């Protein structure tokens, strides 16, 4: 239950839904002992969320030293941590080596050289996968498409053999596999089919060149969620997702298949709760000015992302509507208080008539919400509370 005197804006996390989601992933991957799911910590690094995911036996996909620390502090075994990112600082590489993380996903030759050097100095050896750019375009927002040929991420396919042989010349790194990640919020399974087929082709190419010993194939994350209908589709399409890879990807004997799901794990379990501060009746538009802004949830401002918004009944400070005000639906631009015109959660959002004090839930905000919050305008960071009822 949501407490009546709740201080807003705040995130509410439905831990029961998170556990159901984790169970769904486990049941879809049961029977594939070689499948390993690493949760992409960047989607949500709330400690309680991380502990729930580590307790369910998942690994962690980290993109910074801070995330490695958060993963270690919240129950992920070091060996089940993988470390990706285009700009790993020396201290972050040292931290990963010191902790004994499972592997590094390497995105360039200069980075490989630095890892080799630091590992040598620390008398360690780093297992590395190369992030290869498969030139597979995901049908998603331009800012979250990462798999096209020219990109700050990853290594071009045409350089794949060269980086592998470079690694094999080095004493303190060991090449163990290939890493891919084509983008985020992908709902069309054809994109994953295209990636799987590309990987088949690259594996064959390597074998033709006499390069063997690829132990790990990592297909990244990117499975999307239903932002329009969070109640009808609280659990993402894990069956189609894992089946697509099971069917399309030709793994070799003893190869492990790694997944790095972020949004699909935590997206639907979170909502951002916000109160209506003012209703402003414009000449053509009607605004609901709320106490949350893009400092709390930046996805609409940053990507034009859609989040379903609904009124939470029975939680407003406002008086109940009198019967004369029959709750028809009105269209509101739901906007925040930040001094930027992009601070809009949704334009023309259909909602029952709103009053000052009404509580709104901005749904599907568990991923890339709290973790991207900022203090712009000297605002406080949003609060968080978790609901544990089954
Ligand atoms: C962001 C990211 C992920 C997770 O992406 P989702 O769309 O949240 O599943 C996985 N792997 C890498 C390398 C990433 O950068």
Boundary-marking domain end, from 216, 241, 265: 265
- The answer on 276 and 228 residing in a single domain is no
From first to last of its 390 residues, the chain has per-residue pLDDT tens of 677 778 999 999 999 999 999 999 999 999 999 999 999 999 999 999 999 999 999 999 999 999 999 999 999 999 999 999 999 999 999 999 999 999 999 999 999 999 999 999 999 999 999 999 998 866 554 444 555 546 788 999 999 999 999 999 999 999 999 999 999 999 999 999 999 999 999 999 999 999 998 999 999 999 999 999 999 999 999 999 999 999 999 999 999 999 999 999 999 999 999 999 999 998 999 999 999 999 999 999 999 999 999 999 876 555 555 556 566 899 999 999 999 999 999 999 999 999 999 999 999 999 999 999 999 999 999 999 999 987
How far apart are alpha carbons 16 and 175 in whole angstroms? 39
Distance 137 CA to ligand 1 centre (A): 15
- The answer on 382 and 360 residing in a single domain is yes
- The answer on 223 and 95 residing in a single domain is yes
- The answer on 107 and 229 residing in a single domain is yes
Which domain CATH number covers 377? Answer: 2.40.37.10
Which ligand 1 atom sits nearest the alpha carbon of residue 367?
Answer: 8
Which ligand 1 atom sits nearest the alpha carbon of residue 84?
Answer: 13
When divided into structural domains, the chain yields a total of: 2
Burial (Cβ within 10 Å: 0-12, 13-18, ≥19) of residue 6 = middle
- The answer on 326 and 224 residing in a single domain is no
- The answer on 287 and 232 residing in a single domain is no
How far apart are alpha carbons 182 and 134 in whole angstroms? 8
Which ligand 1 atom sits nearest the alpha carbon of residue 42?
Answer: 1
* Contact in structure between 82 and 61 (CB atoms under 8 Å): yes
Q: What is the pTM of this model?
A: 0.94
- Would 109 be classed as within a structural domain? yes
- The answer on 260 and 279 residing in a single domain is no
- The answer on 273 and 164 residing in a single domain is no
Boundary-marking domain end, from 265, 282, 313: 265
- The answer on 363 and 230 residing in a single domain is no
First to last CA, the chain: 11
Distance 39 CA to ligand 1 centre (A): 9
How far apart are alpha carbons 294 and 144 in whole angstroms? 18
- Would 214 be classed as within a structural domain? yes
> Measured from the CB, is residue 220 less than 6 Å from ligand 1?
yes
> Measured from the CB, is residue 50 less than 6 Å from ligand 1?
no
Distance 17 CA to ligand 1 centre (A): 21
How far apart are alpha carbons 389 and 374 in whole angstroms? 30
Residue nearest to atom 10 of ligand 1 (CA): 221
- The answer on 368 and 285 residing in a single domain is yes
Distance 126 CA to ligand 1 centre (A): 22
- The answer on 280 and 160 residing in a single domain is no
Of 221, 259, 364, best ligand 1 pocket probe by most atoms within 8 Å of the beta carbon? 221
- Would 370 be classed as within a structural domain? yes
The residue segments making up the domain with residue 347 are 268-387
| Residue among 102, 113, 63 nearest 86 (CA) | 63
């Amino acid at each position: 239950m949501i407490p009546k005197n709740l201080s807003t804006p705040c995130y509410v996390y439905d831990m029961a839904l998170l556990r159901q989601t984790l169970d769904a992933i486990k049941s879809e991957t049961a029977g594939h002992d070689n499948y390993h799911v690493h949760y992409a910590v960047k989607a949500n690094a709330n400690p309680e969320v991380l502990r729930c995911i580590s307790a369910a036996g998942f690994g962690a996909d980290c993109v910074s030293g801070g995330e490695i620390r958060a993963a270690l502090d919240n129950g992920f075994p070091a060996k089940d941590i993988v470390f990706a990112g285009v700009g790993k600082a020396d201290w972050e590489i040292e931290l990963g080596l010191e902790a004994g993380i499972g592997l590094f996903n390497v995105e360039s030759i200069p980075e490989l050289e630095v890892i080799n050097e630091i590992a040598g100095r620390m008398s360690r050896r780093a297992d590395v996968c190369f992030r290869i750019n498969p030139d597979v375009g995901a049908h998603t927002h331009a800012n979250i498409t990462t798999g096209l040929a020219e990109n700050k991420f990853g290594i071009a396919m045409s350089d794949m053999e060269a980086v592998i042989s470079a690694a094999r010349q080095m004493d303190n790194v060991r090449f163990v596999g290939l890493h891919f990640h084509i983008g985020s919020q992908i709902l069309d399974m054809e994109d994953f089919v295209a990636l799987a087929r590309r990987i088949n082709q690259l594996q064959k190419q390597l074998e033709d060149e006499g390069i063997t010993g690829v132990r790990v194939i990592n297909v990244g994350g990117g499975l999307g969620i239903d932002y329009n209908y969070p109640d009808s589709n609280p659990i993402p399409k894990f069956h189609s997702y894992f089946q697509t890879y099971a069917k399309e990807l030709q793994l070799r004997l003893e190869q492990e298949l790694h997944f790095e799901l972020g949004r699909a794990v935590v997206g639907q379990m979170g909502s951002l709760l916000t109160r209506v501060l003012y209703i402003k009746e414009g000449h053509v538009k009607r605004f609901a000015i709320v106490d949350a802004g893009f400092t709390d949830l930046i996805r609409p401002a940053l990507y034009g992302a859609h989040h379903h918004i609904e009124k939470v009944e029975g939680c407003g400070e406002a008086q109940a509507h009198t019967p004369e005000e029959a709750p028809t639906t009105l269209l509101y631009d739901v906007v925040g208080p930040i001094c930027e015109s992009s601070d809009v959660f949704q334009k023309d959002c259909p909602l029952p008539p709103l009053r000052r004090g009404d509580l709104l839930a901005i749904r599907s905000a568990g991923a890339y919400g709290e973790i991207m919050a900022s203090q712009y305008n000297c605002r406080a960071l949003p609060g968080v509370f978790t609901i544990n009822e089954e």
